[in-house]
């Protein structure tokens, strides 16, 4: 493992940050940024902005990998579909992959898509959320390991996220969970055949097979199917 010490400037893809006393560590297939002490979320907020595609994991800054085109296309399809449905019915707020979700004082996630119910909109702040989203969606890419996926599930579960979807592109699988409010653990959401019904977004449903179609379905056609257009 290589270690370099930067006292003033660290350059990252497409952005240069002026940061004091961070070290960059090169480990197999990954570059991480560490300070002289574990960074807190407050310090992370001060150092990084919405243009920096990084997460804070246990006090360490970890850049997110550039995504492949199919990942980006699936994000576009699902984000537009979900956002327009929520807006049409006045259900709350949908945000994309630049909204930070706090997990612990030293850990924060950037889900691909999140939803917050209208009655909880006050948790959406300028720097991210102040509480768990009602729904978090993560789109899995080929470089993500089972350990990565399990860590995501554990993080969203421990903060009380009411619903969590994992869209696993490489395996063409969707795993959806709702929070058992008594045990505070995720339990699988039963699919209705090929259809996933959200338990937190009233009336929202989709066909799992839509995610694997090439090209993806027309968003306007799908919105007509669910009665938005």
User: Tell me, what's the pLDDT at 225?
Assistant: 87
Residue pair 138/127 in contact by the 8 Å Cβ criterion: no
Q: What does CATH list as the number for 69-225?
A: 3.90.1570.10
User: Tell me, what's the pLDDT at 53?
Assistant: 82
Please give the average per-residue pLDDT across 98-107, as a whole number: 93
Q: Which of 9-13, 20-24, 52-56, 62-66 has the highest mean pLDDT?
A: 52-56
Ranges assigned E (strand) in the chain? 2-6, 9-12, 15-18, 22-27, 30-35, 54-57, 60-63, 92-95, 101-104, 107-109, 113-117, 124-125, 128-129, 135-140, 163-168, 173-180, 185-188, 195-197, 205-207
Distance CA 178, CA 35 (A): 36
List the domain boundaries for the chain.
2-63, 69-225
User: Tell me, what's the pLDDT at 63?
Assistant: 85
User: Tell me, what's the pLDDT at 77?
Assistant: 97
Please give the average per-residue pLDDT across 156-177, as a whole number: 96
pTM for this prediction: 0.84
User: Tell me, what's the pLDDT at 22?
Assistant: 64
User: Tell me, what's the pLDDT at 65?
Assistant: 72
| Residue 182 vs residue 34, higher pLDDT | 182
């Amino acid at each position: 493992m290589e270690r370099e010490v930067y006292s003033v400037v660290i350059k990252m893809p497409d952005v240069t940050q002026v940061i004091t006393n961070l070290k960059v560590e090169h480990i197999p297939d990954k570059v991480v940024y560490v300070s002289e002490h574990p960074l807190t979320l407050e310090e992370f907020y001060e150092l990084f902005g919405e243009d920096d595609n990084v997460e804070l994991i246990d006090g360490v800054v970890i850049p997110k990998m550039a995504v492949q085109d199919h990942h980006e296309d699936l994000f576009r399809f699902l984000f537009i579909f979900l956002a327009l449905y929520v807006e049409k019915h006045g259900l709350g707020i949908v945000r994309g992959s630049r909204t930070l979700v706090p997990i612990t004082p030293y850990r924060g996630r950037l889900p691909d898509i999140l939803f917050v119910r209208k009655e909880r909109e006050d948790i959406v702040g300028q720097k991210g959320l102040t509480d768990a989203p009602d729904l978090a969606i993560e789109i899995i890419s080929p470089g993500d390991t089972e350990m990565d996926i399990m860590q995501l599930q554990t993080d969203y579960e421990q903060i009380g996220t009411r619903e969590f979807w994992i869209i696993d592109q490489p395996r063409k699988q969707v795993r959806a969970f709702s929070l058992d409010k008594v045990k505070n653990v995720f339990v699988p959401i039963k699919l209705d055949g090929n259809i996933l019904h959200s338990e937190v977004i009233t009336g929202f449903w989709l066909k799992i097979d839509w995610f694997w179609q090439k090209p993806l379905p027309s968003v306007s056609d799908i919105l007509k199917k669910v009665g938005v257009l």
